[in-house]
Structure 1
Amino acid sequence: MNIIGKRWTIHILLELHKGEKKEKRFNELKRKLGSITPKILSERLTELEAEGMIMKNIDESTNPPKSEYYLTESGRDFVKIIQGIKRWGLKWKFQNEECEKAICKYCDV
């Protein structure tokens, strides 16, 4: 909970899960997450990497070097937990036609 409970952490994991392209650059994450500050995004990415939930791939053949982040097996497993929480919420706590679809356009879960 020290990591997952922090603001933006789940949003970052879901953003890395979304779409066909599973690797995302810092600025792409920043743009898609909207109001997150660069400092907080950097801190959360560092924490998630230290916890083994994401990996950072650095391509030093470009100038400047290109860094991309992606979910590890641990991170992908945690997304399954988020999906389970969503299913529980749909069953017991809220009605949302968009979220009742197999994959919701808002969270891709």
Structure 2
Amino acid sequence: MDYILRMLMGPWTTYIVYNLRTFGPQRFGELKRRVGGISAKMLTERLRTLEGAGLVRRDYEPTIPPKVTYSLTHRAHELDEVLDKLAQVARRWQAEDAAARTLKAAE
């Protein structure tokens, strides 16, 4: 368990995996826009870490300009159920928090 948690606990890591899972293969600029607030340096670092862990595949096409696309590997897709559960809990918590704020505002 520690192995996976250490792998996913890095800054932005889970959000990058979530975006690649949700939107499919993406080029660097597209992924950077979707992961709002991340610097190019941090995104590069996280992608290299994820690639080294076998979770992200980097496909390079030697065109002019070069085209690099990032996608999730089969190994990363083993996390699909976990990410689905996190998304389900997040939606429930958002709804609960919104209801609590509405109730508090009505007092």
Q: Tell whether the structures are fold-level matches, with TM greater than 0.5.
A: yes
TM-score (norm 2): 0.76
Stretches of structure 1 that go unaligned for 5 or more consecutive residues are 98-109
Larger radius of gyration: 2
CA RMSD of aligned residues (A): 1.9
Structure 2 residue ranges without an equivalent (≥5): 97-107
Name the structure where helix makes up a greater proportion of residues.
Answer: 2
Q: CA deviation at 1:79?
A: 2.8
Q: 2:31 aligns with which of 9, 29, 33?
A: 29
2:95 is aligned with 1:96? yes
Q: Which has the higher contact order (CA 8 A, sep 6+)?
A: 1
Partner of 1:71: 72
The residue aligned with 2:101 is: none
CA contact (8 A) 1:14 1:79 kept: no
Percent identity between the two aligned chains: 32
CA distance in 2, matches of 1:30, 1:65: 17
Structure 1 runs (4+) deviating above 4 angstroms are 88-91
* Mapped contact 1:55–1:72 kept (Cα < 8 A): yes
TM-score (norm 1): 0.74
Q: Hey, what's the Cα distance between the residues in 1 that align with 2:91 and 2:33?
A: 28
CA offsets per residue over residues 27-77 of structure 1, 9 Å max, x none? 1011111100111100000000000001000011x1121000000011111
Tell me what 2:60 maps to: 58
Relative to 1, partners in 2 of residues 1:28 and 1:88: Cα closer, same or farther, differing over 3 Å? Answer: closer
Aligned residue identity for 1:25: R
The aligned amino acid for 2:53 is E
Q: Count the aligned residue pairs.
A: 92
Give the CA deviation at 1:88.
5.0
Q: Do the aligned residues in 2 keep the contact of 1:13 with 1:79 (CA within 8 Å)?
A: no
Distance 2:43 2:7 in 1: 13
